[in-house]
A and B are shown apart, each in its own frame.
Chain A
């Protein structure tokens, strides 16, 4: 127990926790994309999928939500604590810095984290509980989706958040693997074809829905 606490106390331990929780959340996000794309099969199929989750798979859904909440809490706690340590580690900034390897994704990952956290809260209030939805109908997920995303402001918010999640996955999927010590040696360690493919898949997969609603493909 002491060893685990000491591990959590270290910068490496916290980062490994961020990596493990991050990968779990990415795995879930891929399932979420697959689920969303059921909308293209029509209202009946999409509501059938939603009914499956809320009916026969209800207990699994609750368990999954608990696991996700736990992941999110650990991920955010570790990131806030690490960000504080990192800030303190360089009290006096350089007059000039010229990044040589850092990507846009790596440098905006904290900002992106805040964007995603805000998005998750709004998204749940919008399409899961319906408090900020204009016409929320319980058990009609397809209606909620199409009506909710028909508002240009909401759709724009989703599209911005999906850029954030794409960037987060681009850096996170790659770095999580490394923070868990799973990466094997490579002659070009900064390259990440898998993470890039995953990021594009998630970004495009999610963004397709609001775009399709705005273009009238889904109604």
Chain B
């Protein structure tokens, strides 16, 4: 099959970018979307042009490295699928495809389709962790967790931090990511000591990074390759409001004691 691509090319963070047109011919419908870019890049390299830079790692849909805005949809037309698991059979032969990087002030473009997502790392560093005792490993199942809570926590813990929620959100909001990271720990006994501080700290960092706010369009949930529900955002509001109304330090100390 043949495709016409419009790809965002930008030499560096400081330079201006533009969409460049590429014709990709003789493609197999069973190629993955990233393999399409590999093929185009081989040709560009042979022609002495700079290849298109894009992020990728596992190509199994589980690492969260890849992520492209494909025809105005984060990760492309297939639901619950990261870009690497999208195949050309999801497109018509002869189709025109626009490929753009995630766009957000908090995700500056580094080069072509690669954006800097370290803002997510800083949100995690602001509270997305649990304190554990070092030393010998605890006995298995020494902390009982109800099955329903464990299952629910896993729904949010599936977040791979790809940033599609930010990319798809009309406000470039990182609410779904932050909500998933706050939410899965809030459901588990290990997450209780820091629970209130976590909600306050991670939300504060999220705002400081320059992400927008949630207006409940629901775009993030549709874009999420792990189908994380916007219900997590409601849970984040619940924890955040509760934390704002209590003394988080005291709560933390009381639970720890």
CB distance from A110 to the nearest CB of B (A): 9
Q: How far is the CA of A181 from the CA of B72 in the complex (A)?
A: 30
Judge whether A16 is part of the interface by a CB distance below 8 angstroms: yes
Residues from chain B with Cβ under 8 Å of A178 in the complex:
216, 230, 233-234, 237
Q: Indicate with 1 or 0, residue by residue over B58-76, a CB within 8 angstroms of chain A CB atoms.
A: 0000000000010111000
Is A89 a contact partner of B218 (Cβ separation < 8 A)? no
Q: Which of B104, B204, B214 is A90 in contact with, Cβ under 8 Å? A: B104
Q: Which of B219, B231, B233 is A100 in contact with, Cβ under 8 Å? A: B219
Residue in chain A with minimal CB distance to B233: A178
Is B213 a contact partner of A14 (Cβ separation < 8 A)? yes
Q: How far is the CA of A181 from the CA of B152 in the complex (A)?
A: 17
Is A10 a contact partner of B240 (Cβ separation < 8 A)? yes
Chain A: interface residue total (CB-CB under 8 A): 48
Residues from chain B with Cβ under 8 Å of A180 in the complex:
237, 241
Contacts A89-B172, A186-B231 given; indicate if A175 touches B105 (C-beta within 8 A). no
Residue in chain B with minimal CB distance to A15: B213
Is A6 a contact partner of B69 (Cβ separation < 8 A)? no
CB distance from A10 to the nearest CB of B (A): 5
Contacts A3-B244, A180-B241, A181-B241 given; indicate if A96 touches B72 (C-beta within 8 A). yes
Is B213 a contact partner of A100 (Cβ separation < 8 A)? no
Residues from chain A with Cβ under 8 Å of B241 in the complex:
7, 12, 16, 180-181
Is A89 a contact partner of B106 (Cβ separation < 8 A)? yes
Is A90 a contact partner of B171 (Cβ separation < 8 A)? yes
Q: How far is the CA of A180 from the CA of B238 in the complex (A)?
A: 7
For residues 137 through 196 of chain A, which have their beta carbon under 8 Å from a beta carbon of chain B? 171, 174-175, 178-186, 189-190
Is A11 a contact partner of B100 (Cβ separation < 8 A)? no
Judge whether B236 is part of the interface by a CB distance below 8 angstroms: yes
Q: How far is the CA of A9 from the CA of B204 in the complex (A)?
A: 9
Judge whether A88 is part of the interface by a CB distance below 8 angstroms: yes
Is A183 a contact partner of B231 (Cβ separation < 8 A)? yes
Q: Indicate with 1 or 0, residue by residue over B216-241, a CB within 8 angstroms of chain A CB atoms.
A: 11110111000001110111111111
Residue in chain B with minimal CB distance to A110: B215
Judge whether B212 is part of the interface by a CB distance below 8 angstroms: yes
Residue in chain B with minimal CB distance to A81: B213
Contacts A98-B73, A100-B219, A100-B223 given; indicate if A6 touches B244 (C-beta within 8 A). yes
Q: How far is the CA of A7 from the CA of B217 in the complex (A)?
A: 23
Is A181 a contact partner of B212 (Cβ separation < 8 A)? no
CB distance from B229 to the nearest CB of A (A): 5
Is A181 a contact partner of B71 (Cβ separation < 8 A)? no
CB distance from B140 to the nearest CB of A (A): 28
Residue in chain B with minimal CB distance to A19: B237
Interface residues of B (CB under 8 A from A): 6, 8, 19, 69, 71-73, 98, 100, 103-106, 152, 168, 170-173, 175, 200, 203-204, 206-207, 210-219, 221-223, 229-231, 233-242, 244-245, 247
CB-CB nearest 4 A-B residue pairs: A181-B238, A89-B212, A11-B213, A101-B218
